[in-house]
Amino acid sequence: MRNWIVAGNWKMHNTTGESIALAQAIKEGTKDIKNGEVIIAPPFTSLFSVGAAIKGTQVSLAAQNMHHEDKGAFTGEIAPGMLKDVGCTYVIIGHSERRKYFHESDEDVNLKVKKALAVGLKPILCVGETEDERVKGVTQSIIDTQIKKALSGVENIDNVVIAYEPVWAIGTGKVATSAQAEEVHHFIRGILKELYGAVSKDIRILYGGSVTKDNISELIGMENIDGALVGGASLKPDAFLGIINQITGKK
């Protein structure tokens, strides 16, 4: 049985004070959760304070990105060890906004996934097709390439979480139907089975893209959807906790 995950990606939102207040509300509201994991990914500037605020609770800390080198002359970048130092256990890698606005390639994503695993951070690897690619009918080949390139040279995927995030559904209010999402999740599990055999059934695959408390219950009802990576709806305690409450008891 796979434990569910709800991860909140705060993107470029929240000052330190706002971050601590939101983290505290989430901590309070998730005290009694069972068989699931709640993860929050504040901006870099809030990681330290949020890490301190949620220390010892059931809420885990994630970063939204990292560099693949341990240290060096990379102005403006953050090293994996720095993330561990402030209490991160997860790191989001290859988010479509990183790929689109910061030109991250599948090769960059692969370097980051390998480095995260090497230092003991769990990567939340994001993949997803654009609207154009879906219309052209190449969704599966895009996903296949993204996953295989990202995991190239990765021997053990026990600590990897995959997030399927169709680019056309992110921040648009256009959520994938549960059937559309399940089709891709099932396809991803097939790729993992081909690459890693039996362990593939234990790997969590999250859906992301316009998830709210009103659409999560149908998505979470699908066999291969193990949780959600949430953007907009992770910024308000009620909206985020509402999603978690919908999942509790369903998985």
Is 37 an annotated catalytic residue? no
Burial of 211 (0-12, 13-18, 19+ CB in 10 A): buried
Task: List the one residue from 17, 120, 171, 221 that touches ligand PGA (CB under 6 A).
Answer: 171
Pattern 172-211, binding to ligand PGA, x per CB under 6 A? ------------------------------------xxxx
Please tell me whether residue 6 binds ligand PGA under the rule CB under 6 A.
no
Task: List the one residue from 108, 129, 165, 182 that touches ligand PGA (CB under 6 A).
Answer: 165
Shortest reach from residue 239's CB to ligand PGA, in Å: 10
Is 95 an annotated catalytic residue? yes
Contacts of ligand PGA in 206-225 (CB under 6 A):
208-211
Q: Which of 95, 129, 133, 182 is catalytic?
A: 95
C-alpha–C-alpha distance, residues 237 and 21, integer Å: 9
Residue number, 41 or 191, with CB nearest to ligand PGA? 41
Residue number, 98 or 196, with CB nearest to ligand PGA? 98
Contact stretch for ligand PGA (CB under 6 A) within 61-69, 75-83, 136-144, 228-236? 228-236
Task: List the one residue from 4, 6, 9, 60 that touches ligand PGA (CB under 6 A).
Answer: 9
Q: Which of 97, 129, 133, 165 is catalytic?
A: 165
Task: List the one residue from 66, 230, 243, 244 that touches ligand PGA (CB under 6 A).
Answer: 230
CA dihedral 61, 161, 183, 177 (to 10 degrees): 0
Shortest reach from residue 106's CB to ligand PGA, in Å: 18
* Residues at the contact surface with ligand PGA, assessed by CB under 6 A: 9, 165, 170-171, 208-211, 229-233
Catalytically active residues are 95, 165
